Structure 1
Amino acid sequence: MSKRTPNLAPGMVQLTLPLSSLPSQKLKAGSLRTSETVKEALRQALRSCGLSRETVADELTRLTGENVSIHQINNWTSTAKEDRSIPLEQLAALTIVTGDAGLARAALECSGWSVLAPEQHAYYELGRMTAEDRTRHRKKRDLLERIKA
């Protein structure tokens, strides 16, 4: 390692953003705390999927390539173990194995983002296309009015 400081371009200074300009500053402290909600969503997904936790653990291990034990799943769902959160890498596999997107919904709910199930995606695409058509129609109408004038 060289102890020499890098030669930065003269006159170049890195500016920092004031914290008040961050979008997250509008939110109350702790307003994105979702640990209890996410744990409850996982418990509900495990109950409703009809699979044993051992089967879910085996399938998570198979899908992600990471060793997941029944004890880890028990820790993820335990309200007493607040320090054991569900790794984000397991979210897709948990959603597929349980067939329930409630876990992702619970994690994102307070941020204003939403999660669509595959069968809802067609409705979203149709709505997006309709909105694009309306925008195009407005632009076309404005252009025709300019041509007439």
Structure 2
Amino acid sequence: MRKMDTGLVQLSLPLSSLPTAGLPAGSLRRQEAVHEAFRAVLATSGLTPEYVASELSRLTGNSISVHHINNWTAESKIGERHIPLDYLPALTAILRDSRLIQAVMPTGWTALTPEDAAVFELGKVVVEERRRGRKKRELWERINGSGA
């Protein structure tokens, strides 16, 4: 009697069925957008690069120097120095600005500040209340219409 192989098999999906299939090559390159956003956010924050480096070091537990900050914002350093992704939450908290995270997001996606998230949640509640109101009206119409 021959023993059958019961190992798992990975099936290949055609590329056309993947959610990113319609995106052009390079369309999610975010390097320049992140670089520009960091420069803009730092400039409007009123904070010094020294303060940002010190606070980033404290919050992440890594040694971040003012030279790191300068490299991440220098026009000549685009393509050479990347802000590590795991620093984005700390930078967003320090700078109190979501533009840096927003710059990382693909087009059509968004990041919300805690205040904006509350407004968004309220909007969801209002939409649900309106749906329920429509449903209640439909049911009352069915009840009142069928009883006549």
Higher alpha-carbon Rg: 2
1:80 is paired with a residue whose SS is helix
Match of 1:96 among 83, 90, 93: 93
1:85 is paired with a residue whose SS is coil
Gaps of 5+ in 1: 1-6
In the TM superposition, structure 1's runs of 4+ consecutive aligned residues that sit over 6 Å from their partners are: none
Select the structure with the greater relative contact order (CA < 8 A; seq sep ≥ 6).
1
Q: Distance in 1 between matches of 2:5 and 2:59?
A: 47
CA separation of 1:79/1:22 partners in 2, compared to 1, >3 Å: closer, same or farther?
farther
Residue correspondence of structure 1 range 107-126 to structure 2 within 5 A: 107-108=104-105, 110-126=106-122
Offset, 1:8:
5.5
TM-score, normalising length: structure 2: 0.81
Letter in 2 for 1:121: A
1:24 is paired with a residue whose SS is coil
Q: Distance in 1 between matches of 2:32 and 2:62?
A: 25
Match of 2:133 in 1: 137
Q: Does 1:75 align with 2:85?
A: no
Identity of aligned residues (%): 51
Gaps of 5+ in 2: none
The answer to whether the Cα contact below 8 Å between 1:58 and 1:69 also exists between their aligned partners in 2 is yes
Q: Distance in 1 between matches of 2:141 and 2:26?
A: 52
Letter in 1 for 2:37: A
The answer to whether the Cα contact below 8 Å between 1:57 and 1:68 also exists between their aligned partners in 2 is yes
Number of aligned residue pairs: give it. 141
CA RMSD of aligned residues (A): 2.2
Match of 1:60 in 2: 56
TM-score, normalising length: structure 1: 0.81
Q: Does 1:48 align with 2:44?
A: yes
